[in-house]
């Protein structure tokens, strides 16, 4: 029937046909299948999931994801709680879980100012240690932890959240005691401990220009010094309107231009009323409970489910556009009930930021995310 149509009418008809087909295209049954060939799809898993106590959560992880991150198990305070004391039981189970299911295994995180015990920075009488002592502690920690999982953990978040929102270096004990080169040293030690591992600088709110520019300058400087930095981790603790799709696009383009890969490392989308004016994932923020800040304690209304679905679809559309640069998209948690956002920055809220609800059912956002990939494949 196209034969009798004018060219304009023909292409309009073709476009309408493609759109109609895309709308009805069978969404793939799993996230990892939907994005196979584009990028890995990961989830951060918690203690109950690592140890097999959360069977429902594990079933979702096994069916849907081909990468895992440890939500807390490999943070310094858990894996190295006291001088010379390492607790590898949980991390060993974490890595075994990933290997059993042939997953891309992420290590999170080596050098951070949070969840690091006070003793790391102090001497026997409570004073700050000197630069050489702290460098030695950092070196030993990285060599012991990265070394144990050499060739098994494929990617490490080496330095986490070293920058302030304005792009300057955060005044952490690492910076105060060692000086600016603590970041270069951490990457150098990690590379020496496992030369094959991918090494990431991981931070939040890099869609904001000032902070992004700070990271770009930092990575450019490290690269000029010959330090191995494989990727930048955009944490992706997002909201319904921030960052815009354009901000995300600009950010991915900027890091592509810098010559590093990008991993979306901790994605979740907040639907609750903002408790602060800052766009941040700063864990030290605390805001008082207030029922007005917790409107969806009995469930998420359909209209907001839909908004969340469209928002997820918009972001995954940008990730797909940059699939030559984006290596992995990791959701920070498995179901809504698992999310850190239920307790941050207000304790005890009912948050709905992920793709699976509290009973482990896929949400409209899940369908939207799989459909974006299916549609892209149909139209390519
Ligand atoms: O393990 C204790 C438990 O023994 C105790 O009974 C319980 C009482 O509150 O607390 C438990 O520890 C909590 C821990 O999560 C494990 O659930 C801590 O209080 C709580 O502060 C900690 O929160 C973690 C947060 O990092 C702390 O920095 C979140 O689970 C984790 O999702 C979050 O992850 C960070 C990334 O590592 C870096 N980027 C930001 C992201 C979100 O904050």
> What does the pLDDT read at residue 74?
98
pLDDT at residue 2 is higher than 60:
no
**10 band by pLDDT with thresholds 50, 70 and 90:** very low
Q: Give the residue, by CA position, lying nearest to ligand 1 atom 34.
A: 71
Q: Which atom of ligand 1 is nearest to the CA of 115?
A: 28
Give the Cβ contact number of residue 81 at 10 Å.
12
Q: Which residues are near ligand 1 (CB < 6 Å)?
A: 71-72, 114-115, 160, 235, 266, 281, 283, 340
Per residue in 41-76, pLDDT (tens digit) is 999 999 999 999 999 999 999 999 999 999 999 999
| Residues taking part in catalysis | 161, 266
Mean pLDDT of 345-371: 97
pLDDT at residue 128 is higher than 50:
yes
Q: Hey, what are 181's tokens?
A: 């080169």
Ligand 1 centroid, distance to 342 Cα (angstroms): 11
Radius of gyration of the chain (CA): 22
Higher pLDDT among residues 275 and 91, named by residue? 91
Ligand 1 centroid, distance to 334 Cα (angstroms): 15
Per residue in 275-298, pLDDT (tens digit) is 887 777 788 888 888 889 999 999
Backbone dihedral region for residue 66 (phi beyond 0: left; psi -120 to 50: alpha; all else: beta): alpha
Per residue in 230-260, pLDDT (tens digit) is 999 999 999 999 999 999 999 999 999 999 9
Q: What is the DSSP string of 58-104?
A: HHHHHHH-SEEEESSTTSHHHHS-BTTB---HHHHHHHHHHHHTTPE
Alpha helices, DSSP H, located in the chain: 7-24, 31-34, 47-50, 55-64, 76-79, 89-100, 131-148, 173-178, 182-193, 209-224, 245-258, 302-321, 364-379
> What does the pLDDT read at residue 259?
96
> What does the pLDDT read at residue 12?
44
Q: Could you give the CA distance from residue 327 to residue 349 in angstroms, rounded to a whole number?
A: 32
Ligand 1 pocket mutation pick from 200, 269, 283 by most atoms within 8 angstroms of CB = 283
Q: Which atom of ligand 1 is nearest to the CA of 332?
A: 32
Q: Could you give the CA distance from residue 82 to residue 331 in angstroms, rounded to a whole number?
A: 31
């Amino acid at each position: 029937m196209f034969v009798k149509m004018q060219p304009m009418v023909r292409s309009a008809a073709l476009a309408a046909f493609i759109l109609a087909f895309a709308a009805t295209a069978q969404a793939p049954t799993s996230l990892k299948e939907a994005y196979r060939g584009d990028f890995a799809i990961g989830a951060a898993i918690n203690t109950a999931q690592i140890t097999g106590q959360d069977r429902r959560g594990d079933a979702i992880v096994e069916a849907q994801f081909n990468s895992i991150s440890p939500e807390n198990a490999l943070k310094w305070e858990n894996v190295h709680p006291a001088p010379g004391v390492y607790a590898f039981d949980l991390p060993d189970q974490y890595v075994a879980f990933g290997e059993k299911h042939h997953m891309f295994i992420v290590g999170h995180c080596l050098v951070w100012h949070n969840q690091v015990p006070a003793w790391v920075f102090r001497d026997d009488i409570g004073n700050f240690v000197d630069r050489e002592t702290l460098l030695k502690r950092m070196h030993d920690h990285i060599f012991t932890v990265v070394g144990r999982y050499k060739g098994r953990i494929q990617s490490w978040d080496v330095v986490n959240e070293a920058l302030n929102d304005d792009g300057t270096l955060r005044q952490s004990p690492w910076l105060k005691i060692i000086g600016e080169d603590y970041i270069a040293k951490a990457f150098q030690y990690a590379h020496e401990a496992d030369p094959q591992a991918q090494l990431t600088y991981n931070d939040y709110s890099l869609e904001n220009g000032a902070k992004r520019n700070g990271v770009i300058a930092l990575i450019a400087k490290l690269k000029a010094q010959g330090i191995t930095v494989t990727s930048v981790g955009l944490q992706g603790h997002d909201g319904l309107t921030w960052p815009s799709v354009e901000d995300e696009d600009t950010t991915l383009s900027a890091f592509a231009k810098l010559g590093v890969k990008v991993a979306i490392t901790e994605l979740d989308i907040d639907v609750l009323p903002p408790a602060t004016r800052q766009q941040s994932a700063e864990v030290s923020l605390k805001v008082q409970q207030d029922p007005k800040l917790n409107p969806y304690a009995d469930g998420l209304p359909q209209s907001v489910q839909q908004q969340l679905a469209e928002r997820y679809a918009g972001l995954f559309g940008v990730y797909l556009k940059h699939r030559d640069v984006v290596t992995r998209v990791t959701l920070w948690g498995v179901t809504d009930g698992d999310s850190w956002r239920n307790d941050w920055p207000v304790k005890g809220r009912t948050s709905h930021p992920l793709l699976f609800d509290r009973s482990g059912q896929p949400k409209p956002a899940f369908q939207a995310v799989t459909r974006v990939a299916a549609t892209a494949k149909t139209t390519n």
